[in-house]
Amino acid sequence: MIKTGYEAWVDEFEAERERRAALGDPEWGSPVDLAPEIIRSIQKFQVGEDGDGSALLRKADGAGDPAYREAVRLFIAEEQNHARMLALLLTAAGAPTLDGHWSDAAFVRLRRLLGLRVELLVLMIAEVVALAYYRALRDGAAHPLASGVAGRILADEERHVPFHCRRLHEGLRGLPRPARRAVTAGWRGLLACAGALVAIDHGPALRALGTSRRAFLAEVVRSSARAASAMADGPAPPAPAPVCGV
């Protein structure tokens, strides 16, 4: 039987959980030699991945779709697993995790201002930026453990983006098309600003990974065009079709 609602996404998340359990963790035993600027960068992203997701889950519960709520719960579990792996990577590099960072605090405050739609729009800014970041870390990290952890996280984020695009399309489709275009254009503008801030803040790490601030921001902007189109125009097909994959 073909599932066309969020039951298909629940199946997708559960299948990935089983695949991840069968694969097991990376080998954490060997020390990881990373440049100090890369370590500082990973520390900041680890803070962003950490969190209990209670506000998002509460808003998802209010949406009245049990399958969607369960899919969100599984999404949060994947994000928490990212934080866990990054913490273990930092331990292997001989570095601690951070208690907090201003960029993560700003994102969290914005996400909690209004309802589910605003929460997801702000969350999607972080998700699209993360795609570019983890791709740079995967491709540019000299140590295979760091590259492997980044590759695992990137694979998850590439599924998360179309998942959120589907829900946002459902939330925006009741608006007239010009209004949808205005919302997504504003979202792209905010994303470009966030991408520029991340490029500046993480510039030394990006250089150490073999990419420039300009190239990083250009990838973020390209990704935003595909996501905005899926959010505004849809319809978004069921998982795991790459509705707005990058």
User: Residue 241: what pLDDT?
Assistant: 42
User: Residue 101: what pLDDT?
Assistant: 56
d(CA 118, CA 124): 10
Contact assessment for residue 234 and residue 169, using Cβ atoms and an 8 Å cutoff? yes
Contact assessment for residue 187 and residue 168, using Cβ atoms and an 8 Å cutoff? no
List the alpha helices (DSSP H) in 116-176.
116-140, 144-172
User: Residue 107: what pLDDT?
Assistant: 55
The pTM of this model reads 0.87
Q: Which two tokens stand for residue 179?
A: 């209004």
Q: What is the pLDDT along the chain (246 residues), one digit of tens a residue?
A: 455 589 999 999 999 999 999 999 998 988 899 999 999 999 999 988 877 788 889 889 888 899 999 999 999 999 999 999 999 999 999 999 988 655 555 555 655 556 788 889 989 999 999 999 999 999 999 899 999 999 999 999 999 999 999 999 998 988 898 899 999 999 999 999 999 999 999 999 999 999 999 999 999 999 999 999 989 886 444 444 443 433
C-alpha distance from residue 93 to each of 30, 98, 147, 150, 183 (Å):
9, 14, 13, 15, 42
User: Residue 160: what pLDDT?
Assistant: 95
Contact assessment for residue 181 and residue 232, using Cβ atoms and an 8 Å cutoff? yes
Residues 6+ apart with CB under 8 A from 28: 88, 91, 92, 145
In the chain, the amino acid numbered 234 is G
Q: Within 10 Å of residue 120's Cβ, how many Cβ atoms?
A: 22
The vertex-22 CA angle with 16 and 25, nearest 5°, equals 95
User: Residue 196: what pLDDT?
Assistant: 96
User: Residue 233: what pLDDT?
Assistant: 81
User: Residue 169: what pLDDT?
Assistant: 92
Angle between helices 177-201 and 116-140 (to 10 degrees): 40
